[in-house]
Structure 1
Amino acid sequence: MKDELVTVSTYSSAIDAHLAKNKLESEGILAFLFDENMVSLNPLYNISIGGIKLKTLESDRAQAEAVLSSLQDQPYTNEQNEVITCPQCGSENISYAYDSSNRLKSFMGFLLALVTFSLPLLSKDRYTCNQCHHVFQK
């Protein structure tokens, strides 16, 4: 029987993808990243190719999903190792996203970004509270 690669998770950030891959490998699970270079080249490609795919062998799928779910249960922390909470409701149940939608204020800004390929530089990190759906920045 042939053991095939299956996608266990997708990421919009190469850093998050590598952290998850390293965690799986530290648990003895063989893991691979697909489409990392395309997303790293330009984060806008993330939408068209479906993100960075973390794949593992079919036989390791259940164990990999258990390891990754334990990672998701840990809260986000800042540089001082303090837990990041929602400023509106105080929940620690937040999600991280890479936002480039609100950074182009005008058509000229879009043209500048298009010509200079600076669109990734205009992006900001943002968090979304999974409890009250409030979107906020660090």
Structure 2
Amino acid sequence: MSSQIKVRGFHIDVYQHVNNGRYMEFLEEARWEFMDHTGFAEKIAALGLSMVVVNTNINYRRPAVIHDVLDLGIRVAKIGSKSAVFEQTVTRQKDGATEMVVDATVTFCVMDPVAEKAVPLEGEIRTILEQVAEEAGA
């Protein structure tokens, strides 16, 4: 699944390209779009649980500049026993070709907020994750 964001002046740093820290916001925007589209957050919250990011790895491939329209891609790449992984991309169109700006992996777990511990991704939780992954085009 994907969404778009246009690079604005407040995304730009002194070097006239998107500041590296802004990509964290862009990736989070894509995850919220994913949750809105699939209902993932509501489905997990209905079980009294929440999703938390536990690791983010970002590869910066090329700079994005003001007025670029960026495509924010996201998919569930892996569902493990206690965590799952989103693969996320930020691309742009330039001279008729798609250019990779950033690619990232974001590992998350489903947490019991009372116990403050990750819960196993099994049973109903795993079913929800598999359904939203399929719905979002994983």
| TM-score, normalised with respect to structure 2 | 0.29
| TM-score, normalised with respect to structure 1 | 0.29
Task: Select the structure of larger CA radius of gyration.
Answer: 1
Greater helix percent: which structure? 1
Per chain length, whose mean CA-contact separation is higher, i.e. which structure has more relative contact order (CA < 8 Å, sep 6+)? 2
